[in-house]
Structure 1
Amino acid sequence: MGRLNDLESHGQAIWLDFVDRKFLAEGGLQELVDEDGVTGVTSNPSIFEKAMGYGEAYDDELAEFDAAHPGAATMDRYEALAISDIQAAADTLRPVYDRLNGKDGYVSLEVSPYLANDTDATIAEAAKLWRLVDRPNLMVKIPGTAAGTPAISATIDAGINVNVTLLFGIEAYKSVAMAFVEGLEQRVERGEPIDRIASVASFFVSRIDTRIDDAIDAGTGGDAAKALKGKVAIANAKMAYQWYLDFIRSDRWQALAAKGAMPQRLLWASTGTKNPDYPDTLYLDTLIGKDTVNTVPPKTLDAFRDHGTVGATLTQDIDQARRTLAEAERLGLNLDGVTATLVEEGVASFSKSFDDLLAAIAAKHPATA
């Protein structure tokens, strides 16, 4: 038992922010499950682009698919490869899912980032991925955009687990939390079960500090703002969690909990430290709390295993977190504007990775061709 395992005693789950054919085949995920207590996996277009676009790990399966489906669209070729990986990861985590009665053990697969601003297409894509993967411990990733929010409600209503991604601002988080609740309530109205429907709200962290710190370095807020460097993202996350704690005590949530509903856990994403001046475990050490998930890239996972600090830190220094956000506003750091921009940039970045991914797959030909 080590530091990563110890997080469970504080109610936090650790998910791996990585998936790769070779890693799965060689038992890398199983080892992390067995030794470090990892209970989930997340993927995104950037991860798949790195995994599929380079090397030969996927070439044999791609050749087999092309032979069986001559002339298949590049998107279909991608889905065949991605779904195979997601199924393998889900099967590795299935014992965790069973042991925890559906409370964890999930693998996330993203809807196409091209659909981020199309509600109906997102709903249809989520249903398709759910059907194709055919694993109860799949979470379909839907962005927390204006168009994505009603898709979240509809997808939960359909009984599909949802990982809401690309959340940066507290108001956007509140909106998707309510969408999750509305989806559950619609099922209750029809007399359908809600006890096995899981969701996480993925709140991105380090990108906020990167953008705020850049503004401070450029002179925004003057010398007074320098004391806020590396603190705004953590304060923002802590206040989002305070809202969560208040909400789960509400009558509205308690009515659903009485019917077996599982809370939509806050998930801390983008937790690799971008600034080398900051501790490499900064966004793990400071965000440990009950009913949360931290999805961690392999390098950061290794760092926390070696020298991370375990404690109930998410509920510490809440008054200071409030002061930090108030001071950021007073000094003109425009957190609301930053978070809105980051959502747009996140969608664009994932779309660019998807472009590159599909181009890499399109360039590959069956070995027998």
Structure 2
Amino acid sequence: MRVSNVKILNPVRALRIFGQSVWLDSIDRSLIASGRLQHLITEDGLGGVTSNPAIFEKAITGGADYAADLHTFRRECGLDAKACYERLAIEDIQSAADLLQPVYARTKRRDGYVSLEISPYLARDTRGTVDEARRLWDAVGRDNLMIKVPATPEGIPAIVQLLSRGINVNVTLIFSQDAYARVAEACLLGFEQLGERGGDVGSVASVASVFVSRLDTAADASIDARLKTATREADQILLKSLQGKVAVANAKLIYQRYRTLFSGPRWDALAARGAMPQRVLWASTGTKNPRYRDVLYLEELIGPETVSTVPPATLEAFRDHGHPEFRLTEGIEEANNTLTELQRAGISLKELTDRLLDEGLQSFRAAYDRLLDVIEHRSKADQPERSNGCPFALPASSPYGSGLGQRR
């Protein structure tokens, strides 16, 4: 099915015809205050927003929108850099969540979410992850919040605990099929435990964020390295045939696992109680290799019960020249062959995905540290002319102070 000739729909909005939601991988105060986020919701059918420390760093360094608050929080309220960041982030998350609340209501909790990431330094700490997630959940006070938890071995039991307590979870940094299967199992178990405790399994939602383009970047680097030493023409042909193909193949096979795991008697029992499946979310969808089509990962991974989270530039590119078609369930045999050939070429997919998880965690920590450094610098440098003093009290038990929004 193809809808590119339907002129009344822009390609982004048309994705809903295929059962796919689009979330924006970006947030900043000007996006909200200017009305641009509302415009994306109205015109493109945007279904959600995701955030991370790197996004907030870009927002804070990109203009003066946060200068007054930073000065107030840091100088007059006595907050450290981490508490300043969380206060700023929570306010933006609350504002975006409020704009998306009608989507959340209209889609009956399927869409309309805003994701907020826990500290990357807790990625290997189950108890710390649970405590941090619960704290942020209470601080934001919005039912359409998702807490981002990485798919580390320590994160898996945290996901179970959070879902069992009715906290929405966006599981991030998924690269391998096996990691995805563990995440899906954690989701099912969390739903079951929530139901056993008498909770409403229809009130909680989760997505499994599979990172796409990073895998192609890593696989292509290994392929290029082997091409430099390959002397046989057959080996060179094989290696070149795999360039730019591994990530999509891996993602398609993950989706096949999704279809299996969220079907059958176990899932049917949960669905009968109102549970929503943990949709696969395609993350890292911006094309990093200029040789590849700039909307490659959006076009190749269109299918029902999925989400694509996209950076602004990729969203604009797809709106301009994207071609929506069902592709996610096509070429499954070819996808299997691609990964088989990758192994035959001497490249271990497991080694690639394990390394990507470690690198992803390192990258998240580095972005978090840069963010705190920026806040520390800006809070000292920015001196607004007028100040009304600290606008909220600072209980010892909270790094945020009072005045946070209440859960709807």
TM-score (norm 1): 0.97
Aligned match of 1:5: 13
1:58-97 → structure 2 map (5 Å cutoff):
58-66=66-74, 69-70=77-78, 72-97=79-104
Find the aligned partners of 1:67 and 1:351 in 2 and give their Cα distance.
26
Q: CA deviation at 1:368?
A: 5.7
Deviations 1:50-92 (A, max 9, x none): 112343110112223235522x222111100000111111011
Secondary structure of the structure 2 residue equivalent to 1:218: helix
Confirm whether residue 212 of structure 1 aligns to residue 244 of structure 2. no
Secondary structure of the structure 2 residue equivalent to 1:266: strand
Confirm whether residue 42 of structure 1 aligns to residue 50 of structure 2. yes
Aligned match of 2:365: 351
Secondary structure of the structure 1 residue equivalent to 2:202: coil
Q: CA deviation at 1:246?
A: 1.2
5+ residue gaps, structure 1 = none
Q: CA deviation at 1:251?
A: 1.1
Counterpart code for 2:314: T
Q: CA deviation at 1:318?
A: 0.8
Confirm whether residue 202 of structure 1 aligns to residue 216 of structure 2. no
Answer yes or no: is the 8 Å Cα contact 1:53–1:357 preserved in 2.
Answer: no
Q: CA deviation at 1:306?
A: 0.8
Secondary structure of the structure 1 residue equivalent to 2:201: coil
C-alpha distance 66-239 of structure 1, shift in aligned 2 (>3 A): same
Confirm whether residue 367 of structure 1 aligns to residue 383 of structure 2. yes
Counterpart code for 1:231: K
Aligned match of 1:248: 262
1:261-280 → structure 2 map (5 Å cutoff):
261-280=275-294
Aligned match of 1:164: 171
Which residue, 112, 120, 131 being the options, matches 1:113? 120
Secondary structure of the structure 2 residue equivalent to 1:160: coil
The share of aligned pairs that are identical, in percent, is 52
Secondary structure of the structure 2 residue equivalent to 1:289: coil
Counterpart code for 2:196: E
Confirm whether residue 146 of structure 1 aligns to residue 139 of structure 2. no
Answer yes or no: is the 8 Å Cα contact 1:289–1:314 preserved in 2.
Answer: yes
Counterpart code for 1:198: A
Find the aligned partners of 1:31 and 1:159 in 2 and give their Cα distance.
31
Which residue, 243, 248, 255 being the options, matches 1:234? 248
TM-score (norm 2): 0.88
Which residue, 40, 46, 55 being the options, matches 1:32? 40
Answer yes or no: is the 8 Å Cα contact 1:207–1:270 preserved in 2.
Answer: yes
Counterpart code for 1:247: L
5+ residue gaps, structure 2 = 1-8, 386-408
- CA RMSD in angstroms, aligned pairs only: 1.3
Confirm whether residue 325 of structure 1 aligns to residue 339 of structure 2. yes
C-alpha distance 11-362 of structure 1, shift in aligned 2 (>3 A): same
Confirm whether residue 126 of structure 1 aligns to residue 140 of structure 2. no
Confirm whether residue 337 of structure 1 aligns to residue 344 of structure 2. no
Deviations 1:139-187 (A, max 9, x none): 0000000111111111101100000000000100110111111111111
Secondary structure of the structure 1 residue equivalent to 2:220: helix
Answer yes or no: is the 8 Å Cα contact 2:120–2:361 preserved in 1.
Answer: yes
Find the aligned partners of 1:153 and 1:249 in 2 and give their Cα distance.
19
Answer yes or no: is the 8 Å Cα contact 1:284–1:294 preserved in 2.
Answer: yes
Secondary structure of the structure 2 residue equivalent to 1:207: helix
Counterpart code for 2:57: E
Q: Detail structure 1 runs of 4+ shifted over 3 Å in the superposition.
A: none
Which residue, 85, 88, 109 being the options, matches 1:102? 109
Find the aligned partners of 1:346 and 1:266 in 2 and give their Cα distance.
19
Find the aligned partners of 1:296 and 1:129 in 2 and give their Cα distance.
24
